[in-house]
Amino acid sequence: MKNKEEMFKKPELLAPGGSYEKAVVAFLYGADAVYVGLPSFSLREQAKNLNLEEVAGLSFLTKKLRKKLYLTLNIFARQEHLKKLPEVMEYLADLKVDGFIISDPGVIRLAKKYAPHIPIHLSTQANTTNLESILFWRDIGVKRVNLARELSYEEAKKICVLSPLEIEIFVHGAMCISYSGRCLLSSIMTGKSANLGMCTHPCRWSYKIVEATRPNDVFTVEVQKNLSYILNSKDLCLLEKLPDIVKLSVDALKIEGRVKSFLYVATVVSVYKRAIKSLLENPSFYEKVASWMDELRMVSHRPYTYGPMFVHSEETESQSQYIRSHALAGLVIPVENKELDLPLSDSFAYIQVRRTLDTGQEITFLKPDGDHHTMELGYMEKISGQKIQRAHPGMIIRVPVEFPVFPYQVIRVKLD
């Protein structure tokens, strides 16, 4: 009988890095690789994204940590973009980043010319739904393909068995109602193209119905006493289906969320990292799923679904609006920060506040292994030493702690 290691291949856990700091947090909490964007070339203009200097620093860090760094160049490029890409690609090639994520054939052609040694990963935007398409992309020089999210499990299985290329699958995060994310709603309604990274998410707006000849008579479609969000999709969550996914022997599991919070990145990455480890090494995987799902529900999310891959399975949640039970309270900042000149201390934590905090509140310091420390804010002070009762977003405060903390540690607070 095969043991666990023989049955399952360990997939790479690929996490979003919407900024340099988020990429660092993703690594701290267990990601094997991160994908980051540059302004104008990725599909997430709302994300902070990284400048070229930050990419250089992150590239150095990933090599030091023996992790991987992928750059998203997955816009559907217009002629104006093609003029700028060669110089950027040559710069990234000199950094020896681990791959480009691309959807546009023209951009692939430029990558082969200006960065020939950088592996090309095909974005889900390319709508890969069959083996013949994979063979086509192999001939073009693609190394890895992120399968279209519209595939069923059986369809994905048939492709994975025969694919000569690496296969990547989304397992968690927001989904688009349009085919593989190719949406025109934002362009039509706001003039901002989703396919150039500027999506305004009109599919997530609330709508009312108006009959054409009665423009003043507005009808509200109600769902559970709330406005009906008739277009928006739920959030993908395949944690409970992870054994089935890993059986496909996919090479990478991808988490969506470059515009999500530090709390989202730390929580989701940590949960999936532990779940993969448990699945490969520990037969008690199913005993832990419920507690892992509880953790995932602590980040802001729309109701979870298994998505098209397991469309006939029971849905995990049935509402339509965002669910928010906890929020990001702040981040532990490095005490060796020269700009702030903070003194070293084992008994205090320096926190960059991200949400208004009051004395008496409980905050929770999250650890990569799933453990955590919860404490009551009985005492806060500014760096100057002034004691305060309330801390506002953007402030840096000092609080006494009775446990070790580390730079970029994520701190959670329960919402009222």
Domains of the chain with CATH codes: 4-175+233-310 (3.20.20.70), 185-227 (no CATH), 326-414 (2.40.30.10)
Express each pLDDT in 15-27 by its tens digit.
999 899 999 999 9
- Say whether 13 sits in a helix, a strand or coil: strand
State what percent of residues in the chain have pLDDT above 70: 81
Q: Which residues pair with 366 in a beta bridge?
A: 372
Count of positions (residues) in the chain? 416
pTM: 0.86
pLDDT at 38 over 80: yes
Q: Is the pLDDT of residue 361 over 60?
A: yes
pLDDT of residue 387: 94
Q: In whole angstroms, give the CA distance from residue 145 to residue 99.
A: 12
- Is-contact 226 135, C-beta < 8 A? no
* Beta strand extents in 125-229 (DSSP E only): 144-146, 166-174, 209-210, 218-219, 222-223, 226-227
CA–CA gap between residue 63 and residue 96 (Å, rounded) = 10
The phi and psi torsions of 137 (rounded to 5 degrees) equal -65, -30
Please report, for residues 329, 352, 353, 358, the alpha-carbon distance to residue 395 in angstroms, rounded to integers and kept in the order given: 11, 6, 5, 13
Burial of residue 102 (number of CB atoms within 10 Å: 0-12, 13-18, 19+): buried
At 267 the pLDDT is: 97
Alpha carbon 73 to its chain's center: 16
With a cut of 50, say whether residue 2 has pLDDT above it: no
What is the C-alpha separation between 130 and 158, in angstroms, rounded? 9
User: Residue 188: which pLDDT band, with cuts at 50, 70 and 90?
Assistant: low
pLDDT, mean over the chain: 86
Q: List Cβ neighbours of 49 (8 Å cut-off, separation of 6 or more).
A: 18, 19, 36, 37, 38, 39, 42
**pLDDT tens digits for 173-187?**
988 776 566 666 666
Strands 68-72 and 33-37: parallel
pLDDT higher at 102 or 284: 102
CB 32 within 8 A of CB 68: yes
Q: What is the pLDDT of residues 197-211, one digit of tens each?
A: 667 767 667 777 787
